[in-house]
Amino acid sequence: MIAVRRWTERGGILGLAGVLASCEACGGVSVLEPARAPSSGPIEGSITFGARASTHDGLTSEETAMPARHVDVTLLDATGHALASGQSDEAGHFTFPSTPGATSLGVTARIRLGAIDVATSRERNGESSYAAVIPLAQVARDGGHVHFADTAGEMAGALHIADTLLRGSRALEHWTGHALPPVFAYWGRGITTDWSYFRGEIPEGSGRFCLELLGGPLGEQSSTDTDEHDEGIILHELGHFVMNRLAGDSSIGGRHPPGALVDPGVAWEEGRATWFAMAVLAEEDPSREPFYRDTLGIVPTGSTRIDEDVEHPSLPRGLGSERTVAGVLWDLTDGDVADPAAVDAVDRDGDGAALGAAAVLGAMSRAFEEPDAFVALPNFLRFLVGSGAIEDAPLRAMLRASGEDETLLAASDEAVAWPITLSIGTPVTGAIDGLSDPSPSGAPAKPDNGIDAVRVHRVTLPRAGTLVVTLTIEGSGGSSDHTDLDVQLWSRRAEPLASEEGPLATHTIRRPLEAGTYVVIVRDEGHGNRARYTLETRLE
């Protein structure tokens, strides 16, 4: 454990926040002595942080020292003024030339490496990054080694998050040649206590994007859900960002608990984010078992919320299962890949397919580029076959080997017709059931985004005009007979454009639109409804 002071980093300008008797970012350790300028000569050393690993029983009680790679480091004078700035190297080492007046070293949980810019912040808008100030006299006394122990507070977790984002960003660059815009993780114990998710561009128009990660209740790390050491969770949320930038978005959102069958677009986005996490970790260690884990606490008081073997997914399987999506994408990835630059993740079930992560991600981008595409697993698999990425027979053999249903490939099967084609001027009928439990699919009723409670339709406008969508419900359209359905109009990027709600038997949307493909969603109002409906469109 080291003695530290806390400072803030805003837009590259450093300001000393003052000596803190209790340093929130670094575990409540205090400065032991006034900073003293070191003797003349280069100022060098190394920075590490304590990381925990996820296991079947929670996070490890032991910490592993990891190098704080490519983090921002700064020399400060006694007033907190920055005298020199730089980054640590791949091994966490830093070196500055002799700098008269320097008394302290600043370390920030921000990594800028080439086009990569990632950070961890305890502020909702990411205005500053986690950081600490260490007296140079103390650095010298510790042999130049600066270590942030996880038991000492939040700085270790902040550095682990930033390093994990670096790893995911590097893998993406390797697979695609693309770099992500700047991204930060909003995280803090006792601060981010809701969930982990991709929040989008924060602040709007800034060009900087945000992942929110669970920090858990303050002081309860040993027994509650905190995600700073769950590398799979961090990379899953980064995966949502990657897909949003490179391969579209098909999700209507909402929670997706284990055991639920959800709308296929939700399953697709959640499953491929998990696939991305597993692919990144396999890029670093091809022999690593592909377990996707969300831990609750630390051994021996820990457990897991999710402990999923992506190679052998648990139930439920099939359309609407994010586990099926992650498992199928993993089976397409692992094995002996023909590309000599690819990393061959170990294939443990002999599924017979091996495209590699770069090829799978590239296919996702190309599938979304199709002008009328709104993608989930069934139409992605058909795209792979149609584009020549894999032949039909080996893909079917892979599905059989991994215990999945070949009907995922059957374009003519109504059960996998997603989205449902909606032609201008031609009515379609359908049914919503968010009330029956179990629901018609056999899964628990899930009115907000369950596979039986949502119907997704795709409509293509040949020209600009006003699209009129009319939903007619068989029933009152209200709560008295549980027939309260809503209709929504979305863009092909899953952006809401218009909606009509309320206890009415008929809903109508009118919206001027450019030519192109749009999505019309009929769904349970959210509290459990069951009704048949007719959906009609016209273009004025």
Task: Encode pLDDT of 117-132 as tens digits.
Answer: 999 999 999 999 999 9
For residue 361, the surrounding DSSP H or E stretch is helix 357-369
Q: Who contacts 33 (Cβ-Cβ below 8 Å, separation ≥6)? A: 3, 135, 137, 138
Same domain, 283 and 401: yes
Does 455 fall in a domain? Answer: yes
The tokens for 31 are 């400065």
CA dist 153 and 218 (Å) reads 11
Q: Give the global pTM.
A: 0.91
HSE, side-chain direction, 13 A CA sphere, residue 57: 5
Q: Are residues 83 and 148 in the same domain?
A: yes
Does residue 394 sit in the same domain as residue 483? no
Q: Does residue 357 lie within any of the structural domains?
A: yes
**Does 533 share its domain with 413?**
no
Residue 164 in domain? no
Range of the domain at 500: 420-539
Question: Do residues 467 and 497 lie in contact, with contact meaning Cβ atoms separated by under 8 Å?
Answer: no
Instruction: Verify that 401 and 260 share a domain, yes or no.
Output: yes
Domain contains 298: yes
Domain final residue, candidates 418, 452, 471: 418
> Do 71 and 108 touch, CB atoms closer than 8 A?
yes
In a domain, 430, yes or no: yes
Residues 406 and 481 in one domain: no
CB neighbours of 76 closer than 8 A, spacing ≥ 6? 7, 14, 16, 82, 83, 102, 103, 104, 105, 106, 133
Give the tens place of pLDDT for each residue, 252-285: 988 878 888 999 999 999 999 999 999 999 999 9
Whether residue 516 is contained in a domain is answered as: yes
Are 264 and 322 part of one and the same domain?
yes
Other C-beta atoms within 10 Å of 412: how many? Answer: 7
Q: Which two tokens stand for residue 499?
A: 């909606």
344 and 481 co-located in one domain: no
Owner of token pair 């218009």: 498
d(CA 336, CA 352): 9
Final residue of a structural domain among 100, 128, 152 = 152
Q: Based on the structure, what is the number of domains in the chain?
A: 3
Q: What CATH number should be reported for the domain holding residue 438?
A: 2.60.120.380
pLDDT tens sequence for the chain (540 residues): 343 333 444 333 233 333 222 333 333 333 333 334 445 689 999 999 999 999 999 999 999 999 999 999 999 999 999 999 999 999 999 999 999 999 999 999 999 999 999 999 999 999 999 999 999 999 999 999 999 999 999 999 999 999 999 999 999 999 999 889 999 999 999 999 999 999 999 999 999 999 999 999 999 999 999 999 999 999 999 999 999 999 999 999 888 788 889 999 999 999 999 999 999 999 999 888 999 999 999 999 999 999 999 999 888 888 899 999 999 999 999 888 877 667 678 878 878 888 999 999 999 999 999 988 999 999 999 999 999 999 999 999 999 988 898 888 865 555 567 899 999 999 999 999 999 999 898 888 999 999 999 999 999 999 999 999 999 999 999 999 999 999 999 999 999 999 999 999 999 999 999 999 999 999 999 999 999 999 999 999
Q: 157 in a domain, yes or no?
A: no
Q: Let me know if residue 513 belongs to a domain.
A: yes
Residues 301 and 344 in one domain: yes
The answer to whether residues 392 and 430 belong to one domain is no
Three-state DSSP class for residue 536: strand
- DSSP annotation string for 179-224: -PPPEEEE--TTT--S--EEEEESSTTSS-EEEE----STT-TTTS
Among the three residues 384, 403, 418, which one is the final residue of a domain in this structure? 418
Q: Are residues 379 and 298 in the same domain?
A: yes
| Residues 478 and 386 both lie in one domain | no
Contact (Cβ atoms closer than 8 angstroms) between residue 459 and residue 537? yes
